Structure 1
Amino acid sequence: MSSSPSARAVGLGFAALGALGFSFKAIFIKAAYAYGVDAETLLALRMGYALPFFIVMGLYIARTEPMRLTRSDKLILVLLGFLGYYASSYLDFLGLRYITASLERLILFLYPTLVLLLSAAFLDKPVRRGMLVPLAICYTGIALAVGHDLQIGGSSVALGCALVFASSLSYASYLMLSGEVVRRLGSTRVTALATGVACALSLGQFFAVRPVVALVQPWQVHALSICMAIFSTVLPIWLVSEAIRRLGAGPASMVGTLGPVFTILLAALILHEPLGLMQLLGAALVVFGVSRLRV
């Protein structure tokens, strides 16, 4: 971690660009759904286009920092790939069929609160008293945002919220389990191998449930999938890693709180999603609550 002003400025820029890239993911998905593609095919396209980049990343780390993986290492990497990049992505794609990109991003953004609660339940790390108020603020904000959309969409919104919440829970489980593995194997190695597993699972799921001809989609779907793979998957992962290296995890994560704000603005500008007072208030509460957490 560098303390020079120029390195910090670059780190802040990387963190902001990473947050912006991740924020575009829901926009790309919603735009692709307009062409009639299903979640399984779209996920396979995203992961298929991202896979070559992660293969290159894995080969690079294997050459520069060779390490022999044990059988238990391989098993935990498969589990991390399933939870962090396959299950969480698939549930998120399914949920976006039913809810707005803005609401999806807010629910996903609850993952730090879930890491806190899961760590208390399974890792014997009790929630400190000072974290109770931020937790309450986060879930009050979600209640406001979800309540607004429930009045409009009813049961379909409830289903979408449940699916995206399950996605956030899956990603939080990945974060909770990955701490020791990342310290031992390195973040780049874990990211490359876990995402590789997720790509294989996503492609395997597609070939199991869809005919190959389903890959024949309008060029717009392929273009959006490529953009999602590069600008909302590969580049943000690298940018955030570089931001953490220059700033440290704390400051980089604080910049990451801009993510929901970016998504709300992009959804209104590009997808023309309605923007109500309760949604804005709920978003403000969630962002503020998460920013006060110390996981």
Structure 2
Amino acid sequence: MTDTHPRAWRITGFALSAAGAMLFAIKGVLIKLIYRYGIDTTSLLAMRMVLAVPVFALVGVHQWLRLDRRARPDARTFCLAMLVGILGYYVSSWLDFEGLQTLDAQIERLILFTYPFLVILFGRLLLGHPLRAHALLGAGLSYVGLFVMFAAEPTRLGPAALIGGGLVATAAATFALYQLFARELIVRCGASLFTAIAMGSAGITALLGFFATHPATALVPPRGAWALIVALAVFSTVVPAFLMSAGTARIGAQSTAIVSTISPVVTIGVAIMVLGEPFGWPEALGTACVLGGVGLFSLVETRPRSYRAAEEGPA
């Protein structure tokens, strides 16, 4: 194999991850717009998955059939992919969606963006990975930025906003656990099959949760909300899920985290233009601290001399 092929492979991985991050970035704005129609979190998750699950099922069946029998994941791997998917795409999504009921979209994205530090923390607690100084420094800088954004606006210190922030922070923690365990499963299953299994399982769980608590008629949204829900399901669920999994398989979770730095910037820009959210010096300073903290952490993690260690760690 020539040297040009690995380089092209990684460049493609960066491009896929960047595209996925930008599409995921508009999710919060779409959700805030949909909430204006009086749709609750559980119903919105179910509507999203009604449109998404058939796509994941078709892709999953196609990928399964094209694999040689000996190359297909065994029952244990399949079940682990299901559990990890439910954690990362159902539990995390529900917490995130519910938090957006009372939280600005730009703050939601910045809180979620701190998940790489939680990957390192959980890696230390659960798997005994080293906890390095630059991770603590980056985390401290990022959380100082979030504190500045909350403290500068009195309404963000109210009970509703703080509860929303806590829900999104918990979503970041569950997504960090997903990232910690997903990489090995992606390698075993292949990016497309893993994504189909994980998202399909999360979708079925979301639908079961909906039918256990809501009448079937609640699954039909108001007419004006349909276009937004379709956009949420297709362009902020199906497409970026496959893009991010494919990118992670090529460049690893840590490099994907660097590329994802673009995500909060896109969210902030769209939230200001579409939702009219405020953006003054506290938001600018807070954003700079969060991006700086994650950027510092990610750059140190992916230096050539530590690249192999990073890949053997939380990725």
Query: What is the 5 A alignment of 1:33-72?
Result: 33-66=35-68, 67-72=71-76
Q: Deviations over 1:22-43 (max 9, x none)?
A: 0110011000000111111111
| Further displaced range: 280-289 or 196-205 | 280-289
Q: CA RMSD in A?
A: 2.2
Kept in 2, the 8 Å contact 1:86–1:201? The answer is yes
Q: 1:65 to 1:71 in 2, by over 3 A?
A: closer
More deviation, 22-31/122-131: 122-131
Residue number among 92, 98, 101 corresponding to 2:96 in the alignment: 92
Q: Which consecutive residues of structure 2, in runs of 5 or more, have no partner in the other structure?
A: 302-313
1:165 is aligned to 2:165: no
Q: Give the structure, 1 or 2, with the largest relative contact order (CA under 8 Å, sep 6 or more).
A: 1
The residue identity in structure 1 corresponding to 2:208 is G
CA, structure 1 residues 156+263, in 2 after alignment: closer, same or farther (shift >3 Å)?
A: same
Q: Specify whether residues 254 and 103 from structure 1 end up closer, same or farther in structure 2 by C-alpha distance, changes over 3 A only.
A: same
Q: Residue 34 of structure 2 is aligned with which of 29, 32, 35?
A: 32
Q: Given the alignment, which residue of 156, 160, 182 partners 2:186?
A: 182
Instruction: Tell me how far 1:244 sits from its aligned partner.
Output: 4.8
Aligned to 1:196: 200
Following superposition, the deviation at residue 16 of structure 1 comes to 3.1
TM-score when normalising by structure 2: 0.86
* Residue 107, structure 1, aligned to residue 111, structure 2: yes
Which AA in structure 2 matches 1:108? L
The residue type paired with residue 40 of structure 1 is T
* 1:278 to 2:279 alignment: no
State how far apart, in whole Å, the 1-side matches of 2:103 and 2:192 are.
Answer: 33
Residue of structure 2 equivalent to 1:227: 231
Taking the TM superposition and a 5 Å limit, the aligned residue runs for 1:149-160 are: 149-152=153-156, 154-160=158-164
The alpha-carbon distance between structure 1 residues 228 and 117, as it changes in their structure 2 partners (threshold 3 A), is same
Report the counterpart of residue 143 of structure 2 in structure 1. Answer: 139
Q: Residue type matched to 1:23 in 2? A: A
Point out where structure 1 has 5 or more consecutive residues left out of the alignment: none
Partner in structure 2 of residue 209 of structure 1: 213
Structure 1 equivalent of residue 306 of structure 2: none
Question: What amino acid is aligned across from residue 257 of structure 1 in structure 2?
Answer: T
- Answering whether residue 144 of structure 2 is matched by residue 148 of structure 1, we say no
Q: Deviations over 1:240-265 (max 9, x none)?
A: 34545666655543221010011011
User: 1:11–1:125: structure 2 CA closer, same or farther, 3 Å change rule?
Assistant: closer
% identical aligned pairs: 36
Which TM-score applies when normalising by structure 1?
A: 0.91
